[in-house]
């Protein structure tokens, strides 16, 4: 009977080590995405002023930057959730970043367009 308990203990230890090894090798799912904002030249107009861009997730600001005409900028490591890209004083766009949809863009020109 003593050998049986020892064999069981070894089996349980082996299963535990195997489970830890498999868990350590499991790929982790992404938890962040990327947003992009681009400022185009409105048709029939001269150079526009720079535009301040504010990126928020679930109402909390996570990034901000300034764009000049003809520029675009991407920001990575944006946490998943409801994301708002605000072109201050012009327009804003909102979308949900998810593992299945980890990108969002806002193009600012004659109109503002949200994309993925």
pLDDT tens for 38-65 read 999 877 666 678 999 999 999 999 999 9
> In terms of Cα–Cα distance, which of 98, 52, 64 is closest to 79?
98
Give pLDDT tens digits for 63-80: 999 999 999 999 999 999
Q: What is the dihedral of CA 106, 31, 81, 51, to 10 degrees?
A: -30
DSSP H helical segments within the chain, as ranges?
2-25
> In terms of Cα–Cα distance, which of 60, 65, 58 is closest to 37?
65
Tokens of 103: 């990108």
Q: How far apart are CA 102 and CA 100, in angstroms?
A: 6
pTM across the whole model: 0.74
Tokens of 23: 């868990």
């Amino acid at each position: 009977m003593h050998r049986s308990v020892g064999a069981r203990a070894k089996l349980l230890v082996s299963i535990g080590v195997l489970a830890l090894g498999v868990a350590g090798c499991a790929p982790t799912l992404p938890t962040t995405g990327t947003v992009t904002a681009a400022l185009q030249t409105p048709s029939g107009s001269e150079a526009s002023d720079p535009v301040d861009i504010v990126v928020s997730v679930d109402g909390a600001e996570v990034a901000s930057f300034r764009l000049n005409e003809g520029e675009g900028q991407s920001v990575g490591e944006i946490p998943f959730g409801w994301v708002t890209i605000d072109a201050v004083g012009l327009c804003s766009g909102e979308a949900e970043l998810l593992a299945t949809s980890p990108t969002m863009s806002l193009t600012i020109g004659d109109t503002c367009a949200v994309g993925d």
